[in-house]
Amino acid sequence: MPNGSGEKAKGAILSRAVQYIHHLKENEARNIEKWTLEKLLMDQAMGDLQAQLEEMRRLWEEERAARTRAESELDVLRGLKSSVAADAPPAAAASSASAPEKATEATATSASDGETTQGGEEESGRPGKRQRTD
């Protein structure tokens, strides 16, 4: 009976081989589906990150431009402060007794130049107050 049992054994082996092949095909289909879904999710995440990167670059450029403007304004203000400080007498040399004399001199100077200011001596005699140059 080796022939009969051999046929059964061959049939069983072939049947198990077919089951194994079907199992492999199912696993492959599941893996392909899983990988496809993962790829779609990764593509979406990459798109979101790319959009965030572009937004951050745009904001960075805006901030850089704002900083440049602020630094320019600061340089201008520092330049004005330096020129006002150079024009103004030192605080230690100016006393309260000489302030009215300087106010009178400033009024006389502006009157001789043909300029008039509102308030006359009071406005030009105040320390730190600049004359109008309309």
Tokens of 106: 């400033």
Q: Are 102 and 131 spatial neighbours (Cβ–Cβ below 8 Å)?
A: no
How confident is the model over 83-106, as pLDDT tens digits? 777 776 655 444 444 444 444 444
Tokens of 125: 């005699």
At residue 82, does pLDDT exceed 90? Answer: no
Q: Are 103 and 124 spatial neighbours (Cβ–Cβ below 8 Å)?
A: yes
How confident is the model over 10-69, as pLDDT tens digits? 999 999 999 999 999 999 999 999 999 999 999 999 999 999 999 999 999 999 999 999
At residue 116, does pLDDT exceed 90? Answer: no
Cα(52)–Cα(44) distance, rounded to whole angstroms?
Answer: 12
At residue 107, does pLDDT exceed 80? Answer: no
Section 104-127 average pLDDT: 47
- C-alpha count within 13 angstroms, C-beta hemisphere, residue 77: 6
The total of other beta-carbon atoms located within 10 Å of residue 14's CB is 10
Tokens of 66: 């704002």
Cα(3)–Cα(12) distance, rounded to whole angstroms?
Answer: 14
